[in-house]
Amino acid sequence: MLGWSGLVHHYAGATDTLRYVDFSLGRGRHLLLRGASGAGKSTLLALLSGLLRVQQGELEVAGTSLAGMSARALDAWRGETLGVVPQRLHLSDALTVAENLALPALAAGQRADTARAAELLEGLQLAELAERRPHQLSVGQAQRVAVARALMRRPRLLLADEPSANLDDDHALHMLALLLDAAEREACTLVIASHDGRVIEALSAREDVAEVVLRGMQPSGQMEVPTG
């Protein structure tokens, strides 16, 4: 479902490289990507979501091998496979809640599925708020809208980068519960990147969450075993 081997990413101009220890996620499990700032969480999320091309190694997401896919194929794959909950939610205040849900499909040149939107708004207790604008919502309501938007196209993988950033304890745990609940209902895999102790504590208590701790940049030659 989700895994990588020999995965290395090198940013142009950097002397060191990001090397990801081989990993494979068991069926039905979710993934917590840990590691301090700079450990390589965002880079891995960008690779998992096809926003960065795989330079070296293998990366499999939802049954698709991403290495070697063209940028165009990755764009199509991303729309069909991924739901993303951005750190600051990125809801548009120029649009209503319902229009925010429709936006990703419209941006991809597709028709928005209004029945799906209604179902999600209902399920997330947002039906009464469909015509409001995000600035008229509470933090918890806005979080639910962002999760609903991510689920619109029935993703196989739900990604959240630092979902608790800038949130007080109640809202941080609310966000986490929403993500876990959404993943369960939709039967999709949840990938959370976080270095927040509150998130780590809550997730490491769960049997169905695997953890990967990332270690950041390493000298380009470090992994090579000297021969002779």
Q: Which residues bind ligand ADP (CB under 6 A)?
A: 11, 14, 18, 26-27, 29, 35, 37-43, 209-211, 216-217
Q: Name the residue nearer to ligand ADP (CB basis): 11 or 122.
A: 11
Residue 45 or 124 with smaller CB distance to ligand ADP: 45
What are the residues whose beta carbons fall under 8 Å from the beta carbon of 99, sequence distance 6 or more? 92
Closer CB to ligand ADP, 10 or 133, in the complex: 10
Nearer to ligand ADP, 169 or 207 (CB): 207
Distance in Å, CB of 2 to ligand ADP, minimum: 11
Is residue 83 within 8 A of residue 48, CB to CB? The reply is no
* Least distance to ligand ADP, CB of residue 206, Å: 7
Helix (H) / strand (E) containing 28: none
Q: Give the nearest distance from C-beta 153 to ligand ADP in angstroms.
A: 25
Backbone angles phi, psi at 169, to 5 degrees: -55, -45
HSE-CB for 126 with a 13 A CA cutoff = 31
Query: Cβ closer to ligand ADP: 120 or 214?
Result: 214
Name the minimum Å distance from CB 59 to ligand ADP.
Answer: 15
Q: In angstroms, give the least distance from the CB of 42 to ligand ADP.
A: 3
- Cβ-closest position to ligand ADP: 26
User: Contact at 8 Å (CB) between 196 and 165?
Assistant: yes
CA distance 65 to 86: 24
> Which residue matches tokens 């800038």?
166
* Shortest CB 195 distance to ligand ADP, Å: 7
By C-beta, is 161 or 186 nearer to ligand ADP?
161
Q: Strand, coil or helix: what is 198?
A: helix
CA-to-CA separations, 170 to 26, 123, 164, 199, in angstroms, rounded: 30, 21, 10, 12
